[in-house]
Amino acid sequence: MKTKLIFILSLYLTLQVEAQTMIFSKKLITATTAEGFPAETFQVGDKIYCKIFLNKPVEDQAVYNGAGNKMGKAECFNVNPFIDPPDNVIRMTNYEKVIPGQTTYTFIINESSEKITDERLQKYVTVNQNAYTNALNGLSIGIHKIKFNVFGCKPGGNETKKPIAEGEITIEKNSGAMLKIGKSFNDIKPKMQIPNGLEPKWVSYINDFYQKGNKNSGACMKAKILCNDWIIVHDKYTGAILYRYLDLALLWKDEKGVCFISFQRWGQQFNGAGYQDALHRTADDVPTSVYLPYAPGACDCE
**Is the per-residue pLDDT at 120 higher than 60?**
no
Looking at 69-73, 123-127, 284-288, which range is the least confident one? 123-127
Q: Within this chain, do residues 23 and 157 fall inside the same structural domain, yes or no? A: yes
Residues 213 and 159 placed together within one structural domain of the fold? no
The pTM score is: 0.57
Question: What are the pLDDT digits (tens) for 101-113?
Answer: 888 888 777 654 4
What is the domain extent for residue 278? Answer: 185-299
Residue 184 CA, distance from chain mean position: 15
| pLDDT band for position 17 (cuts 50, 70, 90) | very low
**Cα→Cα distances 269→194, 197, 279, Å:** 18, 20, 8
Q: Please state which of the ranges 41-55, 106-120, 213-227, 261-275 shows the lowest mean pLDDT.
A: 106-120
Q: pLDDT at position 94, please?
A: 55
Name residues whose C-beta falls within 8 Å of residue 142's C-beta, 6 or more positions apart in sequence.
172, 173
Average pLDDT estimate for 8-13: 36
Which residues lie below 8 Å from residue 7, measured CB to CB, with a gap of 6+? none
Residue 9 lies inside a defined structural domain of this protein: no
Q: Considering the domain boundaries, does residue 223 fall inside one?
A: yes
Q: Are residues 67 and 90 in the same domain?
A: yes
Whether the pLDDT of residue 164 is over 50: the answer is yes
Q: Which of 280, 67, 33, 61 is nearest to 78 (CA)?
A: 61
* 32 Cβ contact partners less than 8 Å away, ≥ 6 residues apart: 104
Residue 144 belongs to domain with CATH number: 2.60.40
Q: Is the pLDDT of residue 205 over 90?
A: yes
Q: Bridge-partner residues for 134, per DSSP?
A: none
Range list of H helices, 118-250: 119-137, 199-213
Q: Which of 141, 173, 205 is the last residue of a domain?
A: 173
**Residues 218, 253 contacting (CB under 8 angstroms):** yes
Q: Is there a domain that residue 3 lies in? A: no
Same domain, 264 and 208: yes
Residues 49 and 117 in one domain: yes
Same domain, 102 and 123: yes
Domain C-terminal end among 173, 201, 229: 173
**Given 113, 144, 173, which residue is the final one in a domain?**
173
pLDDT value at residue 10: 37
Number of domains in the chain: 2
Q: For residues 71 and 136, which has the higher predicted lDDT (pLDDT)?
A: 71
Higher pLDDT, 220 or 177: 220
Half-sphere exposure of 162 (CA within 13 A, CB side): 12
Average pLDDT over the chain reads 79
* Cα separations in angstroms, 291 against 50, 169, 201, 250: 29, 35, 23, 12
Name the band, by pLDDT with cuts 50, 70 and 90, for residue 16.
very low
